[in-house]
Amino acid sequence: MFKKLLLAVATLIATMGFAFAQVDVNKADAAALDSVKGIGPAKTKAIMEERKKGDFKDWADLEKRVKGIGEKNAVKLSQAGLVVNGKPLDGAPAATAPTAKADKATDKAAAKADKAAAKAAKADKAAAASTPAAPPAK
């Protein structure tokens, strides 16, 4: 039980790191584009269709060719980890690491895991104590 809980916490922590990976609009497949916050199936399809006509040169080219990606949206997408030719949008804040809120959630999950492990150990100890001892061999 404890191992499963520990595995779940480790998986949660690992997936938090993937959320901040950079996705290049010219190289990414549809699944990778969908993973960027702010890009859904419709925008992914529009990006893939425009990309068939040629790679995006820069952010201005992306904004001009893909309907629904304007100046404000480009800033949000850049912050979420989208890049064009390996470059984030100029002037946009860089993609951020997990926030203190995410760290707090991780700490809370770890504390819960520790509490569950302690409860399981206590239950095992109680079960062992309540089992009658075998009579001594003669």
105 falls within a domain: no
Q: Note down the domain range covering 80.
A: 29-89
Percent of the chain with pLDDT over 90: 49
45 falls within a domain: yes
Positive/negative CA dihedral, 42, 46, 49, 51: negative
Q: Is the pLDDT of residue 15 over 80?
A: no
Looking at residue 114, its pLDDT comes to 75
- Of the candidates 79, 97, 99, which has an alpha carbon nearest to the alpha carbon of residue 89? 79
81 falls within a domain: yes
pTM: 0.54
103 falls within a domain: no
Number of domains in the chain: 1
Q: What is the pLDDT of residues 32-62, one digit of tens each?
A: 999 999 999 999 999 999 999 999 999 999 9
120 falls within a domain: no
Q: Radius of gyration of the chain from Cα atoms? A: 25
Do 36 and 21 meet the contact criterion of CB atoms below 8 Å apart? no
77 falls within a domain: yes
73 falls within a domain: yes
